[in-house]
Every structure is written in structure tokens, then in C-alpha cells.
Structure 1
Amino acid sequence: MHIVITGGAGFLGQRLLARLLERGELDGQAIRRLTLIDQVEPQVPTATDVEIVPLAMDITAPRALDALLAERPTVIYHLAAVVSSAAEGDLDLGMRVNFDATRALLEGCRHHALAETRLIMASSVAAYGGDLPDILDDMTALQPQNSYGTQKAMCELLINDYGRRGLVDGRVLRLPTITIRPGRPNAAASSFASSILREPLNGEEATCPVPTDLALFVMSPGRVIEALIHGAEVPRTDWAPFRAFMLPGITVTVAEMLEALGEVAGEEAVSRVRHEPDEAITAIVSNWPARFDTAKARRLGFEGDRNLREIIEAFIRERS
């Protein structure tokens, strides 16, 4: 089996690589080759029986993936993206990376007749927005209120149509806000959802740019990676009629996040969080829904976290 990961140098790409190597197989087939693509050459382990090919590549360049698609990969994880605030700040960049590159990837699959290749794209809760019901389901109309969400929604529709036509085995997983991400804050509008927990746990100060009553739909990194792997193993026929749905996250307010932080790490950790309102960030994330009925995902065997404390404790274990 040959697996390709775009965005292979990123946080999810690197964690997915590690988990796939740990498993050694996917859907009952041994993994023989893993190709990782990113703007910079992805880091790869040296001690492994699997052939790992790191490629520094601009996937927005014309026919950039042609040679790779000609090798007929079994599974493609399409994780490459410009994050929310960056896509909002630079429309051309967001369109080029988030939408045009996805369309080119789909056209490449069509050109090389990759009808059996499983193409799994990471979409986002940001695809929703506008005047929404209290609880959403997978068939709630997509009304994104920012460029990132719009680009993801357009990709979802294209992947579904190419899948419907039998041009590729297209699959889309809408990711909740991922927390707790390791590392440092990035340009994502949701970056605070990790930093207000991660930095205090590391003995550092953090900034909360949103009101404490803001609710978020969140999922831990570990559960996201398991969902990406499971997404390649669910039978093709089970994805129809629409090949995109929300993963089973949990709903928490910022206040509840800080309360859980205090329960695990004490009030001293909570005191490291400064509250500095940022209207631009609040405007983006306040349009993201926080309550979902994820019946389809659970029916297909996807699992979520039990509670926020479990997420925090998992981060502490991985850090140590």
C-alpha cells in the first residue's frame, strides 16, 4: 500500500505519519510506502521498514502532483491548507492553497483514472455559519461566514461530486477545533483554544481573545488522528449519499476550559491566562457552531473524547 500525505510537515501530518508507522498497516494491507509533501521537506524517521519519501513541493504549481499520481497511490490524505486567519487576511493565498490545489488534485485523480484511490480531506467546523439552529446535523446547510470556511465548503462539494461520478473515492471529515495542539500559537483563529491550556500547563502566560461564554466544538489531536485512519477503512458504500460529515467532538465554553484547567493544574495555572479581547478573532470564531448531532459519524464507528479533563490529561501524558 502506498499512502500520500499532503501537509506532511505539519502537526497533523507528522502525527498521522507516526501513527501509521506504529500500525504498519491500513485496512488490512501492509503499508509499503509513505510519501509526505509540504512546502519544506518533512521530517521522517530513519529506523523503519517502510519506504518514506519526503518531498518539498508547491502543490499549487501546475501539474505538481502528476508524477506522484501516475504511481497510483492507494490512499491520499489531503491535509495541506492555509489556516483560518491567514486565509481571511489573504484571499488569493487561501483560494490558491485551499481550493485551487484541491481542484487540481481531483483533476489529477480523474486524469490518471484513480477511481479506487481513497482521497480523504480534512474539512472544518468553519464550513458552517450564519443563522443556525441550536443543534446542527450533517445535512444542515453550509453558510460559512469567512473565506477559510467558504474554501473548505467548496472543496467538500467538489469532492462529493467527483466521488458521486466514480472518479475518485472521495471522503471528507469535518474536524472540530483541535485542542490541545503542541508547539506554539499559529495563525489559526482558534489557536487560543490550545494556548489558554497549553501555555499555563507549561508555566507560561497565555492570552484569551474571546469572551468566556463562547462555546466551541473540540476534539483532541489523538482522536483526530484515529478518525483520519478510520476514515480510510470505512467501506466506500457507507459514505453515500453525501461524503462529508462532522466528527464527534464535545461542546465546551471557554469558562469550562479554564475550570477544567484549574481542576487539573490548580488556580495558579488559571491565573496565567490574561483576557484581552480581539474583535477580529471573536468575529471569526463566534460564527462557528458548537453543538452537533454526529449520529452518522458514530454509526460509522468514529469515536470522540469523553470530556475536557481527558483531553488535558492526555496532553500532560504526551508532554512528559
Structure 2
Amino acid sequence: MRRILIIGGGGMVGQKLAHRLSAHGLDGDRNIEVTLFDMAFPEGGAPAAERITGQLGTPADIDSLVAARYDVIFHLAAVVSGDAEANYQKGWEINGASVLHFTRAVQAEHAASDGAWVPRIVFTSSIAVFGPPFPEKIPDDQPLTPQTSYGAQKACAEFMLNDLGRKGAAEVVVIRLPTIVVRPGKPNLAASSFFSGIIREPLNGQEAVLPVEDDVRHWHASPRAATGFLVHAAGLDMALLGDNRVLTMPGVSCTVAEQIEALRRAAGDRAVALIRRAPDETIRRIVGGWPRDFAPKRALALGFTADRDFDEIVRIYIEDELPDSPP
């Protein structure tokens, strides 16, 4: 039996990943056992063999997880972008120091097993590791120049995880996720939260606030695509990655205006009318330093697939979160 740990298993992506593993197994293998770790879990959430409550900022919690020697570890947990920017110490403690402690713990446990324990670790990074100036499409070899604390923290985590893989203590795959939309539930503290809000709230008959201009362009993927990235990464042939274990995921590049038109095609003018423009200079500044489009050739060559367009992203939200909505 393969034992799987999802760090951040109470969050949206973690829950969807757990549901997917329960329904389909991993790489066709249904003989798996899934454990979730997070600060809290939603009531009636995804099935799991065990749910462990704890915090990444507590070293003993990390040590306990690593000592259990799971076969596959999905590390999804982080302080999100807006929160990391507003709370400097908190962001570096969770997105930086706890990742360093995690890699050290894995290396120590690998050594304690005389090299027998070599887990597959799939770690989620972010396109926020890139900052301006940008080429029209960012290539796989673009230098990391983050312009936010969150981006800097994720860049540091990438180097730490890649080095852990280089040392042979784990099979490491780091995937840079696009901004995940449309997120179900309530807005979170991510600066990118409005990208989901301007679709989710109108589809639920509620007002949405748009803090940036319509011509802002960004890189998106659906939650369904994100879980697909994670599962695919867990089964990759490590020999194909070479010395660079970090991959930028494919996605959909579109402007806010194009998002709104996709909403209009799905739900009509009445839904679009629920979007209220309220410029927010802090959000505009953060988002203005983010990348807009990519040429993720390595990930595509390795079989990662994303949504076809933003219309599909909207359809996925309706299918997965609003199944009783009229066609």
C-alpha cells in the first residue's frame, strides 16, 4: 500500500486532490492510504484515512509528519500572496523557515533509514517567482526576479527543494501553479482573489468587486487542472527532469475583459452587471508585478495539460460547484 500525505489537505486544492485520489487512486493504483494535514478541515470534507491537525510553523509537527515516512508527499500549504505581503514575518516563517525545516527533516530521516526512504515530494510553487521586465511569453529559462515577499519566499523554497532532490534524499518535483480560478467558497487573502470573485460571485447572484483595470492580463488554470498537474507530477519519470526539478505549469493567458466576456457568454449581461469597479492601489501594485503569459515547453513535453480557454474554466466551475444551475 502506498501511503500519501497532503500537507495543506484542508485547503481547496488539497480537498479536491483528496477527492480525486479517493475516486481514481494514483497512477491507476487504488491501493493507497491518504492522510491530510492542516490547521483545520471543512465539515464533511474529502475522505481520508487520517486527518492530522497542526501548523507548519511548529517544528515538532513537521518532524512528526516526516518521521511517519510517507511514500508520496504533496506539499501545498503556504501563506497566500496578499497575507505574505502584509505580514512579513509570518510569510517568511511559513513559506521560508518551515520549508527549510521540512527539507532538513527529510534529509535526516533519509539518512536514518540508511537511504532506504526516498519519498516522492510534489511541492507547489508560484508564477510569482517572476518579476518585470517580462518578455511577451516567459520561457522556461527566465531568471527569477520576484517583486513580492510571497514570490521571494517561493523562489527560496524552489532552491531548497531542488537541492534536496539533488542530494538524493527525495524524488522532488516542484510545480509553479498559475493562479487557480474559479475558486469555490469565500474570497481568501490572496491578492489574486478577485480573479475568482468576478466570476464566482455573479454566478451566485452576488456583487463582485474588481480592483484593477480591464486590460490586466494574467495566467490561469482551473482547480480541476491543478489537481491534474499534481497527480501527473507524482508519476513523472525523474530521469526526464535532469538537474532542474522545477516546472512552470501550462495555463490560460487572458485579460480581465476576456474573463468578463466568458462570464457573459455563460450567464448573460445580468451577471456581468454585478461586477463593481473599485480601484485598489495596493492590489494593482502587487498584480502589476506579476507575469502575464508563458511558454511552458518543458511541462507540455512532459505531458502536463491545462484548460483550453477561459470559457472552459468557467464551465468547470459551474459543473463542479453549481451542478443544479440551468444550462
Query: TM-score normalized by structure 1?
Result: 0.95
Structure 2 distance, partners of 1:299, 1:6, is 28
Deviates more, 1:36-45 or 1:137-146: 36-45
* Cα pair 2:219 2:292 within 8 Å, conserved: yes
What is the match of residue 12 of structure 1? 13
Equivalences for 1:149-298 in 2 at 5 Å? 149-298=151-300
- 1:170–1:44 distance in 2 versus 1, CA, 3 Å: farther
Q: Give the aligned partner of residue 98 of structure 1.
A: 95
Partner residue, 1:81? 78
Q: Distance in 2 between matches of 1:315 and 1:43?
A: 21
- Specify which of 69, 88, 93 is matched with residue 66 of structure 2: 69
RMSD value, Cα: 1.5
1:29 positional shift = 3.6
* 3-state SS of paired residue (2:61): coil
Give 1:67's aligned amino acid.
S
Rounded Cα–Cα distance in structure 1 between residues aligned with 2:215 and 2:54 = 42
> 2:178–2:220: 8 Å Cα contact kept in structure 1?
yes
Q: Equivalent residue of 2:294, what SS?
A: coil
1:35 offset after TM fit, Å?
1.3
Q: Is the Cα–Cα contact under 8 Å of residues 3 and 33 in structure 2 kept in the other structure? A: yes
* Residues 266, 44 of structure 1: alpha-carbon distance in 2 compared, 3 angstrom cutoff: closer
Aligned residues of 2:132 and 2:291 also touching (Cα < 8 A): no
Q: Are the equivalent residues in 2 in contact too, given 1:127–1:152 (CA < 8 A)?
A: yes
CA deviations 1:179-224 (Å, max 9, x no partner) are 1000111110000000001111111110000010000100011000
Cα deviation code 1:208-247 (max 9, x no counterpart): 0001000010001100001100100011111222111211
> Structure 2: which amino acid aligns with 1:17?
A
Partner secondary structure for residue 65 of structure 1: helix
Which residue identity lines up with residue 18 of structure 2 in the other structure?
L
Q: Take 1:254 and 1:68, find their aligned partners in 2: how far apart are those partners?
A: 41
Q: 1:45 to 1:261 in 2, by over 3 A?
A: closer
8 Å CA contact retained: 1:63, 1:104 = no
Q: Which amino acid is the alignment partner of residue 301 of structure 2? A: R
CA contact (8 A) 1:44 1:52 kept: no
Mark the CA change 1:202 to 1:176 in structure 2 (over 3 Å): closer, same or farther: same
- Tell me, yes or no, if the aligned pair for 1:73 and 1:117 is still in contact at 8 Å: yes
Amino acid at match of 1:35: T
Give % identity: 39
What is the CA–CA distance in structure 1 between the aligned matches of 2:263 and 2:28, rounded to whole Å?
Answer: 40
User: Aligned-pair distance for 1:28?
Assistant: 4.7
Q: Provide the rounded CA distance (Å) in 1 between the counterparts of 2:262 and 2:32.
A: 42
2:119–2:171 CA contact under 8 A, matched in 1: yes
User: Following the alignment from structure 2 to structure 1, what is the Cα–Cα distance between the partners of residues 74 and 200?
Assistant: 27
Q: Which residue of 2 aligns with 1:58?
A: 55
SS of residue paired to 1:76: strand
Counterpart AA for 1:117: P
- Seen in structure 2, the aligned counterparts of structure 1 residues 31 and 126 have a Cα distance that, compared at 3 Å, is farther
Amino acid aligned to 1:193: F
1:303 match: 305
Corresponding residue number in structure 1 for 2:34 = 34
Question: Gaps spanning 5+ residues in structure 1: where?
Answer: none
Give the secondary-structure state (helix, strand or coil) at the position aligned to 2:289.
Answer: coil
Amino acid across the alignment from 1:235: D
Counterpart Cα distance in 2 of 1:137 and 1:112: 36
After TM superposition, give the deviation of residue 31 of structure 1 in Å: 3.8
Question: CA 1:214–1:220 in 2, change beyond 3 Å: closer, same or farther?
Answer: same
Deviation at 1:33, TM superposition (A): 1.8
Check 1:203–1:52 CA distance in 2 against 1; reply closer, same or farther (3 A cut).
same
Tell me the SS of whatever aligns to 2:138.
Answer: coil
Pairs aligned (count): 316
Structure 2 unaligned segments of length 5 or more: list them: none
Distance of 2:245 and 2:318 partners within structure 1: 35
